[in-house]
Chains A and B, each alone.
Chain A
């Protein structure tokens, strides 16, 4: 055979081998591999975001799973019939569904997020094969059953359930972890807050009332457990409903207790005077003559500070009781700027508290090298320093913990989906700031502020020792860049009971508009109202409580058991539950109406029980 022919045969054989290989391959793919089903397979595991709960397990944020009805047009057979079946179940017009089906050639949503009842109804025709191409796709959402109540704490999630604000943002990876799928589902951890929903209702209600009443820019009320730094109540008005967060304004969404920095005013004196006592510039016996005010001349400026009243010769205790600006200013002359600065920064001012809420402000405590002559006396009265509400209430833990600053908590614990405790947040001391005796001294000073002559007298409650300090700070006018004459921040800090502090309350009313704007006049009564509500909830004892003597034994008589013989007994006075044995009578019909206890019966007692008889009982 000529060489060329052999070569062609060789080439042809190779080609044929190639062809058979291909045929085999196609046979393998097309006949032996299972056809793939829906083109929309869930590549990613489903994440069920963990819930956020209050300290007692009440739900604040929870995952919802609702089905959406989808159509994959290439497999939809009879559009008319499909529309007809779907219309019956989904409460949509058949015409609209038919139009939707006709206007798409690929994938289309018929109705998104249907109710569970609708889901149940629609699975029947799908299972029977009556709706080819129609399927249910799970869609996940987040619901906040308490609506506005804890909106600023929980924050909210956006599409695909990703946290966008609040704890939903900062704890996103804890609430919906990236790994750890069980059968294609990742279950998120549960987050328990320190917030007590009962207390949260009070703070929110009062804050909202004050917000309306004083037509304020915003109102904040914080309640903290004085012993461990747990935030029990955390309200800030204006507020928003996280279920419909997209409709909320920026101002409503602002989580002010951590993000808003303002000048605290006289409440700050509890920290400035404590600092001076601790540094040693002043002692409880120091005294300053305040009549005529405080005046200091510097080369480039003159500082003058006045009091509202005439307080004469004041001790540190009187500075707190009467809120003497002049006294505080004179007292500040006894300490150096650097010592004063360091002590205030030990209290946590100019620093973040580290609360796991997004956007926390540092506040503003200027470095001493930037201080002018007026800075020190001005800071002593709570101006020329910016703080956040959370910094203020956290700093107060120094006074209630024998001079030691605590870390504030808003998360109590994190629990795995199986219920295993992952992390628990307990009392976390940060640093010793002042000596126990100074802390104790300050609480007593603050108690005198609630005496009949103190500035916080409006929150006096008989039988309860309360330490408090009020404040009315001047706000800077954004136009003149000087202290405004009509914009104030009214605030009150209250700690009680004084002898064994359990609760710290801090209230801020920003820019109240009306005749009243002093902290002592508007913020203090608010605090009083709150304390009165907290007393029963937190089981705080008042000295005026009457003690009831009781043996401790309570006798409860067992309910009379209904014995039925051959005669119908007297049923009068029996509860509905006690009537149950009647139903065990064979061949007798029993009819009960009304609620409460039996008042009449038919037939009368003593009637023989016969088969087929009917007994009527009326309860009232």
Chain B
């Protein structure tokens, strides 16, 4: 074992990192509580059952925790070996969403495929797949990382294909997020900065073009710049979220006592669940949740640094997974406060949505796996 400035090394057990696990359980618990508070009214109105969203979330959470445990116990080599399969499966699922009859459209987005009675959102899976793939390919080609054609172009093309497919599902923000995660891994992997300049010059105009080709995106953007320009539609969520937050004050109205979720704030149970938290738990509550996410990130990055020199794959992987969870949270929180335009990025552990929970759980499972001292042995 190498000595690093991080304290991780001192908790050297056979099992997974206790602090990381505690943070995950804590966030999941708070997420469930907040979701119940945010969704009981909508559930009662729409499905006649105030516990509708809670029950679903608990079910997915239970499945997620089982998966998390299994993944954390797997031999890491098995995960590595399954990357090509995962890549192909993800690609197939992504293409399936575009097929009529298989794909399901919700609120204008064709992001779901139907499995039995439930639906699955493969773009969530892309987050996991692309991180695994990039960590693997960049660690394998670490000696070629300044060879543009052989080292960088192939993974970049793969990333572009996935981003394009997600874009075709009418999900600009997730496509952008995939691009962001990928570039941050490229960046951390030490790709020459000149290539970044090249990628940015190629991607930026394209991004703008794609951004402005759909009416709802332009409307959201205008609503972001001036929410009162269209208060009844695109700007409504932003205004309502702000009203919910300012109603919360320092200490909040008390858990379960918020009023905006009672019809005043659309999507209170999914993308805007953080606004409900702000109204009920106040600024203090917001700080607590942010701190928990930051603590989770610090823990995740720290365990990555354990592999910094010996195992670039594990380093890239833990960095990518941690960044994915952290930045989904930060972007969602930014959207709720109106700092960035309204997007469809969920808040991990909090927002309702099975796909997000399952994928986040698997990500946590891999992080927990990497935190076990034994798991790194095979890759040394």
Q: Which residues on A are within 8 Å of B, measured CB to CB?
A: 3-5, 7-8, 11-12, 15, 18-19, 21-23, 25-27, 29-31, 33-36, 39, 72, 74-75, 105-106
Contact = CB atoms under 8 A, between A and B. Distances in A.
Nearest to B297: A15
A31 B250 contact: yes
List of 9 A-B pairs having minimum Cβ-Cβ separation, nearest first:
A74-B259, A33-B246, A30-B283, A25-B337, A29-B245, A35-B247, A4-B190, A36-B243, A106-B262
Given A4-B189, A7-B187, A26 B326 contact: no
Nearest to A74: B259
Contacts of B286: 26, 30
Contact of A35 (B188, B190, B249, B294): B249
B330 interface: yes
A300 B251 CA distance: 98
B248 interface: yes
Contact of A11 (B184, B257, B337): B184
B103 to A, nearest CB: 34
Contacts of B308: 4-5
A23 B250 contact: no
Given A31-B283, A35-B247, A22 B339 contact: yes
A36 B294 contact: no
Contacts of B339: 21-22, 25
A25 B294 CA distance: 17
Contact of A15 (B245, B247, B326): B326
Given A7-B190, A74-B257, 5 more contacts: A8-B301, A22-B330, A22-B337, A35-B246, A72-B259
B276 to A, nearest CB: 13
A12 B44 CA distance: 43
B287 interface: yes
B282 interface: yes
A19 B249 contact: no
Contact of A30 (B44, B187, B248, B338): B248
Contacts of B257: 74
Contacts of A15: 297, 326, 330
B41 interface: yes
B348 interface: no
Interface of chain A, main secondary structure: helix
Nearest to A106: B262
10 contacts: A22-B333, A25-B338, A29-B337, A30-B246, A30-B248, A30-B278, A36-B247, A39-B259, A72-B259, A105-B41
A23 B290 contact: yes
A1 to B, nearest CB: 12
Contacts of B262: 74, 105-106
Contacts of B301: 8, 12
Contacts of A12: 301
B154 interface: no
Interface in B115-172: none
A29 B338 CA distance: 10
A233 to B, nearest CB: 49
Contacts of A18: 330, 334
A26 B245 contact: yes
B109 interface: no
B264 interface: yes
Nearest to B339: A25
Contacts of A23: 287, 290
Nearest to A14: B184
* Chain B interface bracket (under 10, 10 to 19, 20 to 34, 35 or more): 35 or more
Nearest to A73: B262
A24 to B, nearest CB: 10
Contacts of A34: 246
B48 interface: no
A36 B337 contact: no
A11 B301 CA distance: 11
B290 A11 contact: no
Given A7-B190, A22-B339, A106-B262, A27 B333 contact: no
Contacts of B294: 19
Interface in B239-255: 242-243, 245-250
B190 A30 contact: no
B263 interface: yes
Contacts of B187: 7, 11
Nearest to A4: B190
A300 to B, nearest CB: 67
Nearest to A29: B245
A36 to B, nearest CB: 5
Nearest to B278: A30
B309 to A, nearest CB: 9
Nearest to A10: B187
Contacts of B248: 30
Interface string B329-357: 01001100111000000000000000000
B282 A30 contact: yes
B243 A8 contact: no
A12 B327 CA distance: 12
A30 B245 contact: yes
Interface in B203-249: 242-243, 245-249
Nearest to B184: A11
B76 to A, nearest CB: 21
A105 to B, nearest CB: 7
A29 B246 contact: yes
A158 B68 CA distance: 62
Nearest to A12: B301
A29 B263 CA distance: 21
Contacts of A8: 188, 301, 319
A31 B286 CA distance: 12
Nearest to A16: B294
Interface in B254-302: 257, 259, 262-264, 278, 282-283, 286-287, 290, 294, 297, 301
A553 to B, nearest CB: 74
B368 to A, nearest CB: 21
Nearest to B282: A30
B6 to A, nearest CB: 12
A26 B247 contact: no
B283 A106 contact: no
B249 A30 contact: yes
A194 B188 CA distance: 87
Contacts of B282: 30
B188 A11 contact: yes
A74 B250 CA distance: 19
A48 to B, nearest CB: 25
A36 B188 contact: no
Contacts of B337: 22, 25-26, 29
Nearest to A75: B259
Nearest to A30: B283
Contacts of A106: 41, 262-263
B317 to A, nearest CB: 14
A502 B308 CA distance: 109
A207 to B, nearest CB: 50
A33 B249 CA distance: 9
A372 to B, nearest CB: 62
A12 B294 CA distance: 11
Given A21-B339, A22-B330, A22-B337, A30 B41 contact: no
